[in-house]
A and B are shown apart, each in its own frame.
Chain A
Amino acid sequence: MAGSEEVNLIESKTVVPLNTWVLISNFKLAYNLLRRPDGSFNRHLAEFLDRKVPANANPVNGVFSFDVIIDRQTNMLSRVYRPANAGPPPSITDLQNPVDGEIVPVIVFFHGGSFAHSSANSAIYDTLCRRLVGLCGAVVVSVNYRRAPENRYPCAYDDGWAVLNWVNSSSWLKSKKDSKVHIFLAGDSSGGNIVHNVALKAVESGIDVLGNILLNPMFGGTERTESEKRLDGKYFVTVRDRDWYWRAFLPEGEDREHPACSPFGPRSKSLEGLSFPKSLVVVAGLDLIQDWQLKYAEGLKKAGQDVKLLYLEQATIGFYLLPNNNHFHTVMDEIAAFVNAECQ
């Protein structure tokens, strides 16, 4: 066993810059400690280890942020990121000034972490959201959804839905052109999964979502796909840990055919005929769950939906966390183009 572990470590080191390798290996190590074999999660240690940053109403690199308690009863919190105007920093009363533009995209963002890790104020996601603001000229609303295993399906989806409603009805987020909020959903890993499910609900309820952006979205199923077998343990992720997170998120007793895990599996509803938002699906070629992600994109296509698949052959998970590789820039460009296409 030790021998193959060594090979795996060496392999993953050849495909990412060293500091990326250190970063993702650090997460891998920490996450291994936090997942207990009995299905419980060391939440205290998780919160202790997670590197967080405060919101900052003083603009940094043209972006400022603030936190909003959307629902006092449930402490439902989101972090809002906005482009800064020239001039003095926004005062506390300026934070929710109406957006300034004919068409201003609002991206509702769901951070990753396999449903169990990270928060809206985790440093890695605060950084990513700030980038999206500049990239797309957008307001970004990062949802601090409830996590597994303490809060299983459908809590994360419910929280996403609550924030989508709040965004949709916030007058200060309405674009001048048509007095409507121009909404996109975006997320990585479990966040990508949440995007799909919140979009489903939006379609059913008549809320207009202009586009879905899924970065390495987390999907699965009961069978072991070829990519899972081929890439197991080779690039930071194992099938075993994937299984753990599904067991933690899905209702007790459920298996991975559950539609939350497998949106185009035997138990899910068809999307045919629905006006589902157009999707940008980004798949990393060294992600072991890529077969599920490709199946997702394929499923959308077969159901007559608009989907663009971006397959990055040599990318691993987390490539979008550091701007030190070409995949990062490729994806950022695609996201910008995807969002801006609606804003002509």
Chain B
Amino acid sequence: EVKAVFPHGLPCRFQQQIKTFNEACLMVRKPALELFTYLKSSNFAHPAVRYVIYGEKGTGKTMTLCHVVHHCTRQGWLVLHIPDAHLWVKNCKELMKSSYKEGRLDQPLQASVWLKNFKASNEHFLKEIKTQKTYVWGKQESTEEGRPLGEVVEQGLARTRNASDAVGVVLRELKQQCQRGSFRLLVAVDGVNALWGRTTLKREDKSPVSPEELTLVYNLRKLMMNNWNGGAIVTTLSQTGSLFKPSSAYLPQELLGKEGFDALDPFVPIPVPNYSPKEFESCYHYYLDCKWLQHEKGQCPAGMGHGGPGGGAGTRGGPTAEAAPLEELHSTVRIE
């Protein structure tokens, strides 16, 4: 199930942990629970509410986002997960001029990668949702009205030239159809401050590219507006991949800039702090359970010899393993 829900989007370290422990477990924390109550009690006739998760580096923003994504997938929402918006504004090998609009630039590689992952996570939705307009891709190729959205995605994957336009079509269709209420849409964007910053991309004549000239960013910005209803928008700010921002910046206004703040306003900010003492305890109890941490007074006499799967990090935990019991709030969620 992990592969189906998260073809992309889990942080690198967490993926290594999944591989090591053979199970995907994350800690239930207050920010995520807060978001769940908001989502549950939100009125889907009202315009979509934007939530911005912010916090210092390494406090668990991406993990909170993934938790929310998993929760909504379990409840049957359609999840539009963009793992890292920073990947779309930097290190782009191929930039093509857009055939649809003058002056815009396409990114075929990034668009096709994203389409592939989107297809993997939302197969059954793509069969049900039908297009509402005819889209002409080239001289002979076109998608008629009423065909399932999966065909648009196939078209984008088959012809990388049209991949970015295919992404734009998908986003537009989902936004329009969500208002009818047949499904709920969760837009989850990690690193949303990339959409309003600067890019490191240059055109062939070395002139810099601003974000709105990229088709992908332009279409995503349209989705971030709250002029649609029937879903929610959950985003994270991230300094780690951001461009031209100091490494101590973590507050919304610093990372989003004036443009971004005005575009997202009014939003609900959700701060994610570092682990509290109890959370830290439950975290290392989990590691002890998985035999990842080796203990000086190890339980079994061979406790020094074999650590967990793959050999543990030899830290000496201070208090012994019969410390305070875990509270229910900090129980771990096992994702099979």
Say if A and B assemble together.
no
* Chain A residues engaging chain B, CB cutoff 8 angstroms: none
* Chain B residues engaging chain A, CB cutoff 8 angstroms: none
